[in-house]
Amino acid sequence: MRLLFLGDIVGKTGRTAVWERLPGLVSDLKLDFVVVNGENAAGGFGITEDIFLGTISAGADVVTTGNHVWDQKEAVVFCERHDQFLRPANYPAGTPGRGSNLFFARNGARVLVANVMGRVFMHPELDDPFKCAEAILEACPLGEQADAVVFDFHAEATSEKQCFGHFVDGRASLVVGTHTHVPTADHQILNGGTGYISDAGMCGDYDSSLGMDKEEPLNRFISKMPKGRFEAASGPATICGVGVEVSDRTGLAEKIAPLRLGPRLSETIPEFWA
Query: Mean pLDDT over residues 32-55, rounded?
Result: 98
Helix (H, G, I), strand (E, B) or coil at 107: coil
Does residue 179 have an active-site annotation? Answer: no
- CA 259 to chain centroid: 13
According to the model, what pLDDT value does residue 273 have?
86
Beta bridge pairs of residue 246: 253
Residues 268 and 246 sit within 8 Å (Cβ to Cβ): no
Q: Kindly list the distances between the CA atom of residue 163 and the CA atoms of 21, 158, 166, in Å, as whole numbers in the listed order.
A: 33, 9, 5
- Tally of residues, the chain: 274
Sheet (strand 148-154) strand order: 100-104, 110-117, 148-154, 174-178, 195-197, 188-189
Residues 239 and 211 sit within 8 Å (Cβ to Cβ): no
- Contacts of residue 107, defined as CB under 8 A and 6 or more positions apart, other chains included, come to 1, 32
Residues 183 and 211 sit within 8 Å (Cβ to Cβ): no
Q: Is the peptide bond before 124 cis (omega within 30 degrees of 0)?
A: yes
Beta bridge pairs of residue 260: 240, 268
Confidence of residue 178 (pLDDT cuts 50, 70, 90): very high
> Could you read off the pLDDT of 247-269 as tens digits, one per residue?
999 999 999 999 999 999 999 99
Residues 231 and 210 sit within 8 Å (Cβ to Cβ): no
Q: Is the peptide bond before 183 cis (omega within 30 degrees of 0)?
A: no
> Could you read off the pLDDT of 41-51 as tens digits, one per residue?
999 999 999 99
